[in-house]
Amino acid sequence: MGTGRTLNKHPRTRPIKSEGEKRRRTKAQRSRLVKLGLDQAVVAKMQPEAVRKLVQTPVKVKKSVAAAAVVAS
């Protein structure tokens, strides 16, 4: 067994994020927003940065969806 020094020696030994993993994460985040109550068509048109910001505050998303439902009624 090593001492776990591999990732501490050089910055080039750090793992690289893959494009497939990024797509998987964004897909999961978009589905999370749909489960919170946002419309799927609206979520599909959003930029990835906006999706990430909304996923970080699910309580605010639920409140805004509830407020929009009250106004629409």
Output the pTM of the full model. Answer: 0.75
- Residue 7's pLDDT is 67
DSSP summary character for residue 15: P
Exposure letters 51-67 (e unless 16+ CB within 10 A, then b): beebbeeeeebeeeeee
- Residue 22's pLDDT is 94
- Residue 11's pLDDT is 66
- Provide CB contacts within 8 A for 36, sequence distance 6+: 58, 61, 62, 65
Please tell me the distance from the alpha carbon of residue 41 to that of residue 64, in angstroms, as a whole number.
17
Digitized pLDDT (tens) for each residue of the chain, 73 residues in all = 566 776 677 766 667 789 999 999 999 999 999 999 999 999 999 999 999 999 999 999 999 999 998 998 7
